Amino acid sequence: MAKKGALKASEYLKKWIPFAKMRYVVFAIATIITMVLPWIKVNGNHFILLSFENFKFHFLFIKFDMQELYLMPFLLMLLFVGIFGITVLGGRMFCGWFCPQTIFRVIYRDLIETKILGLRKRISNKQKEPDYSKPINQVKRVIAILMWTVLATIATSNLLWYFVPPEQFFEQIMHPSENGVLFGTLVGTVAFLVYDIIFLKDNFCIYVCPYSRVQSVLYDDDTIMAIYDNTRGGRIYDGHDKTITKESQLAPDDLCTTCESCVTVCPTHIDIRQGLQLECINCLECVDACTTVMAKFNEPSLVNWSSIQEIDVRDRKTNFFRPKIIGYGVILVGLMISLVMMGLEKELMLLNVNKDSRLYDIEKVDGHLRVENSYSILIQNTQNEDHEFYVKVEGNDKIKVGQPSHPFKLKAGEQKKKTLVLYTTNMLAEDMRKDTMLQLKLKAYALDSNDTIKVYRDIRFTYPREDIIQKKMK
């Protein structure tokens, strides 16, 4: 930044891209992704969908049943570690650049109220509230509320598509009396958004959002944030007393003009010249404001997106690769690898096997003894298409499947309980005094899936003591 002063104001401003413009691009990209993602399906599965109605969770286009929600803690850890890591690196960057609350406020205050309806004079002055004593402004306000209500309905519908897929959502919302929960959630959330964005405003970020409370403990001297340069601008606030210094009291070489452009532009109504404050959402509008002011004096901005280390301590550059950041990065990569591995190893059908309390049955068939073990099995077709399923024992050709005697069909998502009977006519007893326990691998599979839809379970087969077999043979 130091060399910017060497450029003439006009030259410098030509090269400069305001942070506000960059934020608008980020807002647009985030909005498009959020709106489009629920519509994309691969093999009938969504990128992310938590369907309470169907007890399904889709992640990375893989469908999980609610019983398989072991992924959830990993996703939550990913979210929290990600936000903590971003905070250590860039302060409340999430708030200023990605949070829906900020995006919605920019749409309502800067686009609807200021640009479209002219209720506010300039985007650069967010402190001055519109004058609602004028009848024309009252009419405009009603229009603004209506416009925002429409947008809030679209935004809420978009949010709900992550719980009720769009194709289902539109069908259900046309019949509100049959889908009271969905309709109520839509209306309730829209009402909250109208109250929040129009009446609560940026006070949500200052007083309600818990994130602002935890973020300060995560900061260190290398955290980048909007920061005023006391050394160049002059100390405006006197330590903890926060006594404002009048322009006349500034030293001759102090650059701050006390124009307050950085203050009036601030959406959370703070003066960045007082130092780090919990209310700062890192939107960097104050940096843009001071850059414009200082460019007229061919000087770089007094408010910068930088760190305490670089602006106040000044003994080295900001260290982006400090141990804390590397630690967060390693944890994030580890969590992401675990999630992808779990996704790839996900079983494509469900199988639960429980052995019956009866150890075995012995029958004499055509002079041979037949030993049977019975199990209860629950098979679920978790795919989006119907399939035909069957079971077999792998790795032991002396144990056969007696029941179910034929493959059976399961519709998409259907589950069925079956009795599984395994039997052998071979002599497998190994001991006179105790039963023989055989460890088997049971495979359940879809016959029409080229061996892709299959699961294995370890089960036990109990073969009676040798003396019992001998007695039965007589």
Residues that bind ligand SF4 (CB under 6 A): 226, 228, 233, 256-262, 265-268, 270, 272-273, 280-286, 289-290, 293, 302-303
- Kindly state the tokens that stand for 18: 């305001």
Contact 435, 376 (CB under 8 A): no
For 91, the 3-state DSSP assignment is coil
Q: Which one, 165 or 300, has the nearer CB to ligand SF4? A: 300
Beta-strand pair 454-463/436-446: antiparallel
Q: Least distance to ligand SF4 from the beta carbon of 256, Å? A: 4
| Inter-CA distances, 93 with 23, 84, 132, 247, Å | 11, 11, 33, 32
| End-to-end Cα distance, the chain | 99
Q: Least distance to ligand SF4 from the beta carbon of 98, Å? A: 14
Report CA dihedral (165, 171, 177, 182) to the nearest 10 degrees.
Answer: 10
Give which of 20, 4, 3 is closest to 12, Cα–Cα.
Answer: 4
> Which phi and psi angles does 85 have, rounded to 5°?
-60, -45
Contact 54, 412 (CB under 8 A): no
Q: Least distance to ligand SF4 from the beta carbon of 449, Å? A: 55
Alpha helix (H) ranges present in 245-322?
261-264, 285-295, 308
Q: Least distance to ligand SF4 from the beta carbon of 283, Å? A: 4
Report CA dihedral (57, 60, 62, 66) to the nearest 10 degrees.
Answer: -20
Q: Which one, 230 or 425, has the nearer CB to ligand SF4? A: 230
